[in-house]
Amino acid sequence: MKRNLMLIVGLLLLGFSNYAQTSPFNIHIEPMRINGLGGIQAYAFGQDSDKWLIVGGRLDGLHRRQPFAAFDVIGNNNQIIVIDPVSQQKWSAPITSLSVALQEQLSSTNMEFHQTGNSLYVIGGYGYNAATASRKTFDNLTVIDVPAVINAIIAGTSFTSYFRQISDAQFAVTGGHLKKINNTFYLIGGNKFDGNYNPMGNPTYTQVYTDAIRKFNLSDNGSTITVTHLPTITDAINLHRRDYNAVPQILPSGEEGITAFSGVFQTTADLPFLNCVNIDSTTYAVNNAFQQYYNHYHCAVLPLYSATNNEMHNVFFGGIAQYYSSANMLVQDNNVPFVKTIARVTRTANGTMAEYKLPVEMPSLLGAGAEFIPIRTVPQFANEVLKLDNFTSDSTLVGYIYGGISSSAANVFFTNTGTQSFASSQIFKVYVTKNSSAGIHSLNAQSTGTLQVQVFPNPNAGDFMVKFHLNKKVETKISLFNLSGELIEENILNDLQIGENIFQRKIKYLEQNGTYILIVETPYERVVQKIIIRQ
């Protein structure tokens, strides 16, 4: 769920060092469609052979701002869907034959899920609860026999006996991730959101982040499910995140691990995290030396590992992010827009992480709430990390991307009436080509910018202050433009100090109220920020 953003936010153009690297592989995506297949986003999936089992999720796009319309029941996915991408067929069946408790959880959104063998384990999710006539985060763990349900739906027979469900307060989580390291389950991050969503600040809900990694073991004999909770890891700052990407890893030691990339929200700012959290079988470590600029919300992610080089690659496909690249500049947009960016984060043998923008993009503002579904016969580790060394130099079809939110514009949240975005029915084949000479990827040089510009108050009546930070004494130019690009005034500042500086200005001769563009520029950085003047 996207939060209520402040309307007056800045667009920062940060100095961007555009280094390049010949990548060890290249990515190619090829669109395909299946007749009659509808759109869906934020769903859970399981697999058997070539077929997918789809449960839960939303049939609409970005949730609406209007409290009466946000997460309405019309947008619930009340079907179980089976997809065969090879034969390009689909089947579905309503969930009305299941118990009310199963129906409510399995029509919710942002559930956590993980498949072990034939069993798909589904936890939590946010959806409508008839008993309270409101929405809640469900505290259920549901186990689904994937092959049996797939076969029953294709045959048109009953599938009710292939679902089992228990309740546990620790499982009331939405927007997190359920993963495994070896034989232990990890329920990472997320929150408990109870009540009706309302971006207007009215108290129609309660929201509590887990701030935790909840570890547990499951004993499941096919009839009885027994949960053994292990000690919880809590970090109210670094694990205070949801709607992020949790990706299985092969660590430098060769052991299994998980990395939690980005997500929302920082405890000190209404913005995504830029760091990541690396998790192993015993503990976790926050990597503040690495900053991820692209792909901040949950999207499809392809994990690849090269044992030869001891390198872990994670490829992120589109979604929503605070940054994107334009004309070789890294653009910071605190509205956190939809983006087309495909980027990879690579961890080298010494543990260093770096981010690269690929030369290919998503064909539209697409990807948030989508999933990468691997082909099970492609060589992979037990935790579904693909074995890059086993691929040939020819293109290898490694999996598919299905669904997600498709947006008509980068920033639609503030005008969202339900028509600006939709749940995509698009499927993409994902190919990996090794050692391609065309595989030049642009390095994000981890330049976060130093000016740290703030304008206050904003809006203002033409009397405002600009606070900025300098690492060295340099000439600084502050200019004001209208939205047509006409220069209103320009100030050249030389008598400045290292550290914080404040420039105060009163402007009383503007022709009209409205939005203006303030530019702060030094020899090494340029910041562009919107301000609103109401005289």
| CATH code of the domain made up of 454-533 | 2.60.40.1930
Q: How confident is the model at residue 446 (pLDDT cuts 50, 70, 90)?
A: low
Residue 52 clears pLDDT 80, i.e. is over it? yes
Say which DSSP state 232 is in.
P
Q: Could you give the CA distance from residue 212 to residue 171 in angstroms, rounded to a whole number?
A: 12
Across the strands, what pairs with 499? 470
Which residue pairs, CB below 8 angstroms and at least 24 apart, start in 140-143? 140/101, 140/105, 140/165, 140/166, 140/167, 140/168, 140/171, 141/165, 141/166, 141/167, 141/168, 141/171, 141/225, 141/227, 142/102, 142/105, 142/106, 143/119, 143/220, 143/225
- Longest alpha-carbon distance in the chain: 80
Buried b (16+ CB within 10 A) or exposed e, 365-388: bbbbbbbbbbbeebebeebbbbeb
Of 32-36, 508-512, 529-533, minimum mean pLDDT range: 508-512
- Residue percentage of the chain with pLDDT more than 90: 72
Residue 191 clears pLDDT 60, i.e. is over it? yes
pLDDT 10s digits, 231-283: 999 999 999 999 999 999 999 999 999 999 999 999 988 889 999 999 999 99
Say which DSSP state 58 is in.
B
Residue 17 clears pLDDT 50, i.e. is over it? no
pLDDT at position 19 is 54
pLDDT 10s digits, 106-150: 999 999 999 999 999 999 999 999 999 999 999 999 999 999 999
Number of neighbouring beta carbons within 10 Å of residue 359: 15
Of 37-46, 227-236, 321-330, 496-505, minimum mean pLDDT range: 321-330
Whether the CB-CB separation of 59 and 39 falls below 8 Å is answered with: yes
Residue 2 clears pLDDT 50, i.e. is over it? no
pLDDT 10s digits, 355-386: 999 999 999 999 999 999 999 999 999 999 99
The residue among 482 and 53 whose pLDDT is bigger is: 53
Number of neighbouring beta carbons within 10 Å of residue 78: 14
**pTM of the predicted protein model:** 0.87
pLDDT 10s digits, 61-99: 999 888 888 999 999 999 999 999 999 999 999 999 999
Residue 77 identity: N
What average pLDDT does the structure give for the chain?
90
Q: Could you give the CA distance from residue 449 to residue 455 in angstroms, rounded to a whole number?
A: 16
Topology classification of domain 11-444: Neuraminidase (2.120.10)
pLDDT at position 449 is 52
Check for a shared fold between 11-444 and 454-533: no
pLDDT 10s digits, 220-232: 999 999 999 999 9
pLDDT at position 456 is 82
Whether the CB-CB separation of 387 and 307 falls below 8 Å is answered with: yes
Domain borders along the chain are: 11-444, 454-533
What mean pLDDT comes out for the span 341-350?
96
